[in-house]
Amino acid sequence: MMNLLTTYAQRWTAIMAMLGVVFFFSCNDEDLSKPDTSRDDIQVVDVTTHDGRPFQLPESQHTKGRYTAGPGGGVMMQAFYWDVPAGGTWWNTVKGKVTSWGNAGIDAIWLPPASKAQNGPYSMGYDPTDYYDFGNYNQNGTVETRFGSKTELQSLINKAHTENLQVYADIVLNHNSGGQSEYNQYTNSYTWTDFTGVASGKFTRSQHDFHPNWVDNNDEGVFGGFPDLCHEVPYVQDWLWGRSDAVAKYYKNTMGFDGWRFDYVKGFAPWVVNTWNGAVGGFSVGELWDSDVNYLNWWANEANSSVFDFAAYYRMNDAFDGNNLNRLNDDMMWKRNPYKAVTFVTNHDTDEIWNKMLAYAYILTHEGYPCIFYQDYESWLDKNKLNNLIWIHNQKATGTTSILYTDSDEYIARRNGYGGNPGLVVYINNSNSWKERWVPTNWSNTQIKDFTGHSGWYPTTQGDKWVKIQCPPNSYSVWSPNI
């Protein structure tokens, strides 16, 4: 288990209208001890979020009832972290939260690998043994998985569906673990490749189904020294997605999963994910741990899948922790192909960004499909502020993106709106003092406000659509018509 944990810890539409960067005039970029209230077109109300009192989501932004899609789309929740409590309680823990998550604007949850793995009651699931054992067979020292029983998992999935949330399964297809030793004719040695005794009796495997074998010596990559599954073998393909009770179809049709997060896709060719998706459909995202945007975009197109935007992840780390917001001008997957980019601030494997609220303000106002990390939401950050950003994402973050201004401390971008939705302007300030800027909007003679509540200004845009906005220190503001 520790070897697996250590290994994981070490692992790793269209170009936006950046030509629309504007020349700023009459910009007051002095350090401000308090907001400038001298302009006639700005109304000022008391700002209650700077005096230490808890942030309160504006009443008009509270959502009620089950999740319903907003004009900006939804937000994914990674519904676990590394080493969640063992003892078979996790499925019930998540089940108890899906109603509040749906009310907050979460549209999908990503669960950890759900089937029985080598380390039984202690495993996080990334060392899979039996793809059909969801905590209903006594093998690997346990009946339940670390997370609970099959019945509890199905109850969680059903509950999520009643709240109009989709459920994404974490699928580990590169490697297996927990097999018995057998003499391997391809290596002339003993290997742990005998899975003929799996308790479910389904997708039994042997040396012929792993690299090296009669088809090929290797594929794109191996992980952790585990037996490396060979997807070129017709028998393996049949059991993964071909037959009526294949893994993909069982997960979807029997267990009720709606989509897929594919683990360590560097370990096998993208046609595997493409074929899986073609067989069962549903949303999918691949964990291609690489900051090369060309590579990410190539894989997403070849796999017909979304991909985690590691390019954005590392650029945000450079920007917010490295105190250089100019890095947000760099290329990212969401800029190349926003419909196939899943943006994130933290996950179960990597947690490098410390200035997380600025990072969440970035991904929840920009294009791509944002993913929130369980511990950030439930334990580490201000849930009310995250809920506010989720609301802004779902209700306001529409249309293409124009970057309006960047320097080492400031970043301003505009979402240009779509289908009658006016979009927004987001202002991120990584300095220790208030900042103000004149910016071009898409709104003429229109009163706007900061929907985060961080600023008390209610400015009116000029006839030429320009307006002066502000942002508090080490924070963000999000502006849109006051309607």
Is 182 tagged catalytic? no
Architecture in CATH of 2-17+63-398: Alpha-Beta Barrel (3.20)
Q: Rounded to an integer, what distance in angstroms lies between the CA atom of residue 74 and that of residue 76?
A: 7
Evaluate if residue 359 carries a pLDDT over 90: yes
Q: What is the pLDDT of residues 252-299, one digit of tens each?
A: 999 999 999 999 999 999 999 999 999 999 999 999 999 999 999 999
Q: Residue 50: what pLDDT?
A: 27
Q: Where are the domains of the chain?
A: 2-17+63-398
Strands 106-110 and 75-78: parallel
Q: Rounded to an integer, what distance in angstroms lies between the CA atom of residue 89 and that of residue 121?
A: 11
Q: Residue 443: what pLDDT?
A: 98
Q: What is the pLDDT of residues 434-478, one digit of tens each?
A: 999 999 999 999 999 999 999 999 999 999 999 999 999 999 999
Q: Residue 280: what pLDDT?
A: 98
Q: Is 326 helix (H, G, I), strand (E, B) or coil?
A: helix
Q: Residue 287: what pLDDT?
A: 98
Is 107 tagged catalytic? no
CA angle 428, 430, 433 (to 5 degrees): 100
Residues β-bridged to residue 285: 261, 306
Query: Where is the binding site for Ca(2+), in residues?
Result: 174
Residue among 107, 127, 170, 263 flagged as catalytic: 263
**Mean pLDDT, rounded, of the chain:** 89
Evaluate if residue 191 carries a pLDDT over 90: yes
Residue among 127, 170, 209, 287 flagged as catalytic: 287
Q: Tell me the mean pLDDT in the region 196-200.
A: 98
Q: Residue 65: what pLDDT?
A: 55
Q: Residue 15: what pLDDT?
A: 30
Query: Where is the binding site, in residues?
Result: 174
Q: Is 185 helix (H, G, I), strand (E, B) or coil?
A: coil
pTM of the predicted model as reported, rounded to 2 decimal places: 0.88
Q: Residue 374: what pLDDT?
A: 98
Give which of 29, 58, 18, 9 is closest to 433, Cα–Cα: 29
Q: Tell me the mean pLDDT in the region 212-237.
A: 96
| Helix pair angle (270-280, 293-303), 10° resolution | 40
